[in-house]
A and B are shown apart, each in its own frame.
Chain A
Amino acid sequence: SQTIHQWPATLVQPVGSPLSLECTVEGTSNPNLYWYRQAAGRGLQLLFYSVGIGQISSEVPQNLSASRPQDRQFILSSKKLLLSDSGFYLCAFTPSLETQYFGPGTRLLVL
C-alpha cells in the first residue's frame, strides 16, 4: 500500500537557523510530489512541486528551497529561517495526477 511519511512532527527553531524537513513515500514509483504550507486561518499554499528526480518547480518566491535527491524523497530546506516561515508544512504525492495524498505534517514554530 502507498504511504507517506514526514518528520519531524514538530520543530521549534530560532530565527536565522537552517531548516530541513524530509518527506518519503512508499508503495509507488515516480510520483509527483508537493510541499504545501498552511498558516493559521489560511488555506493550503503550494510551495514546490516535483515531477521527477532533480526536477523542482517553485510556485511562490520565498525563503525556502526544495530538493528531490531520490525518486521517493522530497526535502524542504532553508538557510536562514524567518518568523514568517512558521506554519504547518505538508508533503503530498499523487500517483494518478488527480487525487493527492498528504503526510501527517510538520508544525514549525520560528521564534
Chain B
Amino acid sequence: SQKIEQNSEALNIQEGKTATLTCNYTNYSPAYLQWYRQDPGRGPVFLLLIRENEKEKRKERLKVTFDTTLKQSLFHITASQPADSATYLCARNYGGSQGNLIFGKGTKLSVKP
C-alpha cells in the first residue's frame, strides 16, 4: 500500500534561516504531491501542488521539489519568520478518480526570533 512519511516530527530554526522539510513516499510515484499548513485547532490550508513531471515549484518564499528517483519531496521556506511556525503536512494522491489523498503525520516547525 502507498505510504507517505514525514520523518521529522519537529524542526526548530532561527528566524531568517531556510527551513527544509522532507516528505518520502513508497511504491509508485504519485501524479502529484501537495503541501498544506495547519495551525493549532484549525483545518489544513493548501500551499503548493507539484506534479510528477515538475522538478521544482515556487510561490513567494516557498519552494517545493519532487525527486522521483529518491521518492522524495522537499519543502523549503526561505527567510523564515516566527509567523511561519505551524505544522506542515505532505499529501499524495492515490488510486481512482475520487481525489483522495493520503497525508503524512506532519512536521511541526518552530521559528525562533
Point out residues on A near B: beta carbons under 8 Å.
32, 34, 42-44, 46, 49, 51, 57, 88, 90, 92, 94, 96-105, 107
A103 neighbours in B (Cβ, 8 Å):
43
- By the criterion CB–CB under 8 Å, are B41 and A44 in contact? no
Other A-B pairs beyond A43-B104, A57-B98, 20, CB < 8 Å: A32-B98, A42-B105, A43-B103, A44-B89, A49-B100, A88-B41, A90-B43, A92-B43, A97-B98, A97-B99, A98-B32, A98-B99, A100-B44, A100-B46, A100-B91, A100-B99, A101-B46, A102-B44, A102-B45, A107-B41
Point out residues on B near A: beta carbons under 8 Å.
32, 34, 41-46, 49, 89, 91, 93, 97-106
CB distance from A15 to the nearest CB of B (A): 24
B106 neighbours in A (Cβ, 8 Å):
43
CB distance from A8 to the nearest CB of B (A): 14
A99 neighbours in B (Cβ, 8 Å):
34, 46, 49
22 contacts between A and B (CB under 8 A): A32-B98, A43-B89, A43-B103, A43-B104, A43-B105, A43-B106, A44-B89, A46-B100, A46-B101, A46-B102, A57-B98, A90-B44, A92-B43, A94-B99, A97-B97, A98-B32, A98-B34, A98-B93, A100-B44, A102-B43, A105-B42, A105-B43
B49 neighbours in A (Cβ, 8 Å):
98-99
Say which residue of A44, A57, A96 sits within 8 Å of B44 (CB atoms).
Answer: A44
B34 neighbours in A (Cβ, 8 Å):
98-99
Report how far A101 CA is from B93 CA in the complex, Å.
Answer: 15
B102 neighbours in A (Cβ, 8 Å):
46
For residue A97, which residue of chain B has the nearest CB?
B99
Report how far A88 CA is from B39 CA in the complex, Å.
Answer: 13
